[in-house]
Amino acid sequence: MQSLRHRDLHSEHEPHVVFQASTIGALLDGAYDGDVTFAELAEHGDLGLGTINGLDGEMIAVDGRFLRADIEGTTSALDVSDRTPFAVVVWFTPTERIEIGGPASQEEVLAAVDDRLPATAVACALRIEGHFDHVKARSVPKQNRPYRPLAEVVADQHVFDLEDVEGTIVGFRFPDYSQGIEVSGYHLHFASADRARGGHVLDFRVRDARVQIDPSADLHLELPSGIDLDAPDLSASTAAALARVEHSD
């Protein structure tokens, strides 16, 4: 009965509610095997990002499709039975739109998003569709047990450059206070228009783009059991490790 109610609750596809499997803090500690399948994740949203068990690449969720980008930046469809140790998805319901009419850097595009966010928005999901002069992205190699901390794994990340490519960036902006639960600031993943290439975004430059923003006034994280939210690691060392892991190149 309980699982039935659980399913009913989510069949409503409640907008502006972010669903997250596990925490980035757990991932930093080397918890690379989760128990949430992509079939389950797909019940909670159609846009998002994350990784795959064993840290086997970067996950991109776009239009309800769940893709895995390998260390070459080549994407393939994930199987519904594959599992994730960390993922964030939302039923993408944009309320704000920005047209970027000419060339712009990542910094300029994200500043425009910041400007457009309602004052009440503490978080947002976003989708950037356009022609990219350049996307600098990365993926990480599959890990074997015993797992090393994420900061060490990311030292082995593979960085690749996609030039002159049509595609979609999906992702989130989370507030600073969510550090340890989330990657604070922007966390973005890319998939090319043919959905053949992608990865975790380190930098980009658009030629022109359409940005859609789904603001969330209430950071509602729904966590699977086994995650202790009373003790999120908000320490400076976690922040420093995350800065290395998520934003360094």
Contact (Cβ atoms closer than 8 angstroms) between residue 101 and residue 86: no
Per CB under 5 A, the segment of 93-101, 103-111, 120-128, 193-201 that binds Zn ion is 193-201
Rounded CA gap, 89 and 216, in Å? 13
> In the complex with Zn ion, which residue's Cβ is closer, 173 or 200?
200
Rounded CA gap, 156 and 144, in Å? 13
- Applying CB under 5 A, among 200, 209, 211, 214 the residue interacting with Zn ion is 200
> In the complex with Zn ion, which residue's Cβ is closer, 15 or 54?
54
Structure tokens at 109: 């595009």
Rounded CA gap, 129 and 145, in Å? 38
User: In the beta sheet, which residues pair with residue 188?
Assistant: 171
Per CB under 5 A, the segment of 5-13, 95-103, 163-171, 199-207 that binds Zn ion is 199-207
- 138 lies in the site for Zn ion, by CB under 5 A: no
Rounded CA gap, 145 and 4, in Å? 35
Q: How many residues does the chain have?
A: 249
> In the complex with Zn ion, which residue's Cβ is closer, 16 or 200?
200
Per CB under 5 A, the segment of 22-30, 72-80, 101-109, 192-200 that binds Zn ion is 192-200
Shortest Cβ 49–Zn ion spacing (Å): 6
Mask: binding to Zn ion, 147-186, rule CB under 5 A, as x and -?
Answer: ----------------------------------------
Residue whose tokens read 């939302």: 90
> In the complex with Zn ion, which residue's Cβ is closer, 68 or 200?
200
Rounded CA gap, 132 and 100, in Å? 12
Binding interface with Zn ion (CB under 5 A): 200
